Structure 1
């Protein structure tokens, strides 16, 4: 029995050290999957065809991988100092040069995928990626950390509203209410994502929005507050979608 368990652990260790597995780990897969499935579900609810829904899923999965890889490259020294066990680059398991090459390849893939939705929709989605990378580089550890999340999420309705197969038949802009609620959801997601790292961020002297609020009201209260606010915003988005729709 002990020999079987040892062999199983060795097999798991070999699998987890494979290059594709390390790439997935560095892509922040949980956040990426939630984002991709959320936008795919919104596309389906808005009446998009099956091939358009599949295109949304593929585009967002690649875009989220880009943001995850870029985040790990930018933060590799901080992650190493923080002894982050979930960061393959910081652990030395994944070479930064290899990850940078994968990121460059993904950019070459996401551009045509985005433009396949139509010029306006593709530009909106590529702008969300640019905003996310700007946040990784400049804003993540400042009190403006929420800004790139809010702006990127506020562009998602435009991505869906203008999108179609090559942009066919999609000319109306998104509803303002839906855009505002999507931006608010971005702020909520930002705080929820930041919550697990509050202790490390505080010890390192970082002062992003989530940490500033957490220091004032405490992390448990902040968690419950954001869960309630996120639920309310999601309910508002569903209500707005049912009442006014995605497009003006």
Structure 2
């Protein structure tokens, strides 16, 4: 029996990382995608939705978040190469633009019927949030208004849940204004948290989005704590609003 060498495990790990499915998952920003999908599924369950509707919400949001992650990778390829982010699949060469573009197109073709399966109003709300996210990948994200696409996209999430149901003919009710505002504030907090890992590269490249401006004032470790506390408070407010005012008007 041949003994394994110390190098065999790292080599095996690098080989797995070069597989296209693995590279696609890494490019989709999987942690954010899964957390967002689970959060929306939990919110759907808390609003009293049936099990099949909860599953539909979770799958739809997961596909939509993967779409945004892949779009972000394509938009950021040049800057990622400049920042020498070798962990990014496009920069590392484990994924090429053509393959990523193909799967991005597949995600678009999939997320449209999935979204509309929960009702026309609900589907349009979620698709609009994705459109805002895609535009945000290209506009505003590197300046003082970097928070705006996140706030708008998250503000549309309660509408997706409130109007939603099962089947394209589902017709719900508008969300309450306080819930919509609270969701927008949560989006701002998530924007700050999700930007923390790239602050050094962003600062070196001369970007000046809101999380970087805050980090330069208070320091990145303190900003992590403050942003986490902020998100926890906003989530607490959302839970309180859901138990008192409810999701829908």
TM-score by length of 2: 0.95
Is residue 2:198 matched to residue 1:181?
no
For residue 211 of structure 1, what is the aligned residue in structure 2? 212
Alignment of 1:25-174 (within 5 A): 25-166=26-167, 170-174=171-175
The secondary structure found in structure 1 opposite 2:12 is helix
> 1:195 deviation in Å?
1.2
C-alpha distance in 2 between matches for 1:245 and 1:168: 23
Report the count of equivalent residues: 248
RMSD value over aligned CA atoms?
Answer: 1.4
For residue 12 of structure 1, what is the aligned residue in structure 2? 13
Is residue 2:227 matched to residue 1:231?
no
Does structure 1 retain, via aligned residues, the 8 Å contact 2:126–2:157?
yes
Does structure 2 retain, via aligned residues, the 8 Å contact 1:25–1:86?
no
Does structure 1 retain, via aligned residues, the 8 Å contact 2:118–2:170?
no
Does structure 2 retain, via aligned residues, the 8 Å contact 1:19–1:94?
yes
Unaligned runs of 5+ in 2: none
Does structure 2 retain, via aligned residues, the 8 Å contact 1:117–1:165?
yes
Unaligned runs of 5+ in 1: none
* Cα 1:100–1:86 shift into 2, 3 Å: same
Does structure 2 retain, via aligned residues, the 8 Å contact 1:89–1:95?
yes
C-alpha distance in 1 between matches for 2:160 and 2:54: 12
C-alpha distance in 1 between matches for 2:163 and 2:64: 18
Does structure 1 retain, via aligned residues, the 8 Å contact 2:120–2:170?
no
Is residue 2:192 matched to residue 1:191?
yes
> 1:86 deviation in Å?
2.8
For residue 221 of structure 2, what is the aligned residue in structure 1? 220
> 1:211 deviation in Å?
0.8
C-alpha distance in 2 between matches for 1:4 and 1:60: 43
> 1:140 deviation in Å?
1.4
